[in-house]
Amino acid sequence: MAENKQTEEKVLHAKSGWGMLFVSLLLVVAGILLCVFSSQVNEAAVIVMVCAGVILIIVGAIMLGGLKTVNPNEALVLTLFGKYHGTIKREGFFWVNPFCSAFNPASGLVAGTGRKISLKAMTLNNEKQKVNDEEGNPIEIGVVVIWKVVNTARAVFDVDNYVSYISTQCDAAIRQVARQYPYDVSENGDEKSLRGSSVEIAEILRKEIQGRVDIAGIEISEARIAHLAYAPEIAAAMLQRQQASAIIAARQKIVDGAVSMVEMALKKLSENDVVQLDEERKAAMVSNLLVVLCGNKDAQPIVNSGSLY
């Protein structure tokens, strides 16, 4: 998207404030001295000296208003009579046009900045919200976003309040991404899910948010899902579903192991010629072994003291 002239960031190379501080104080002192010593001259010169002294004091005071201090990783956006004048992005002590005023619509929302724009990486811990996943299941999801301002002109002039704007766009992006993927991986396991593909989903979410906040001159460094759970109204049912899936998977593994052990037992008995079993006795042995190996409780042994047949 092409920028217009209003949103082009103009870096202001302001003059050092130390020299102008000395000049301003010198004007104020000179004005005071003129007013003090005006009583020692003739009456005609008193008015001239007093007026000159007052003018010097006013000029010096106005010039003192142009002194600005910028801390590291901060920027000062200046407007002059309603027009964008420039941005100071270097740390230091500067002097600018005293009629310039600092402008920051998000003043007070970012701690410690005041009228200045923070260029530091900041964390937005978006409150968890209830959304529907791809399958229509209600879920609760919360996201942590690392962001920073890279274009101060866009952040200040293109949106009403860039801090509130990024929070709102994060909510919209979460809903957009969440409804495109299921909460958990499907049975075939060939698609992304919110729980199972956290790294891929985080990158998709970051790009989605970035596309929405470009207009505000904000760069998204990272977006991570900090909270993910089924909504309370279906959490119990989904927990039972997950438990059932786990039990089925465990039983399948137990049966596979039991079958292999029975097969190995019959093979060893046959190879070592321990006992000769007909098909009926083999079936009975297989049944007994499977009951023992697949049962939830320990089997109670029964000793057969008679003939096998």
Is 219 within 8 Å of 210 (Cβ atoms)? yes
Question: Encoding tokens for residue 195?
Answer: 């729980």
List the one residue out of 113, 109, 115 whose CA is nearest residue 166: 109
| Phi, psi of 67, deg, nearest 5 | -80, 130
User: Quick check: 183 and 130 in contact, CB under 8 A?
Assistant: no
Structure tokens at 134: 């791809």
Q: What is the DSSP letter of 286?
A: H
Contacts of 136 (CB under 8 A, 6+ apart): none
Q: Give the integer Cα–Cα distance in Å for 285 and 262.
A: 9
Dig out the tokens for 205 from the structure. Answer: 């979410």
pTM: 0.69
Radius of gyration of the chain (CA): 39
Q: How high is the pLDDT of residue 136?
A: 80
What is the DSSP code (8-state) at residue 126? Answer: P
The domains of the chain, with CATH numbers, are: 5-103 (no CATH), 122-230 (3.30.479.30), 241-294 (no CATH)
Which residues make Cβ contacts (< 8 Å) with residue 164, sequence separation at least 6? 106, 109
Q: 114 CB contacts (<8 Å, ≥6 apart)?
A: 104, 107, 108
> d(Cα 243, Cα 127) in Å, to the nearest integer?
29
CA 266-268-274 angle, to 5 degrees, is 90
Nearest to 150 by CA among 14, 7, 15: 7
d(CA 160, CA 183) in angstroms, rounded, equals 35
Tens digits of pLDDT across the chain (309 residues): 444 444 788 888 888 889 999 999 999 999 888 888 777 766 667 788 888 889 999 999 999 999 999 999 999 999 999 898 999 998 999 999 999 988 888 775 655 456 889 899 999 988 888 888 888 888 888 899 999 999 999 999 988 889 989 999 999 999 899 888 888 776 555 578 888 788 888 999 999 999 999 999 999 999 998 888 887 776 566 676 666 667 777 777 777 777 887 778 777 777 776 666 667 777 777 777 767 766 666 666 665 555 555
**In the prediction, which pLDDT does 6 show?**
46
Distance between CA atoms of residues 292 and 9, nearest Å? 77
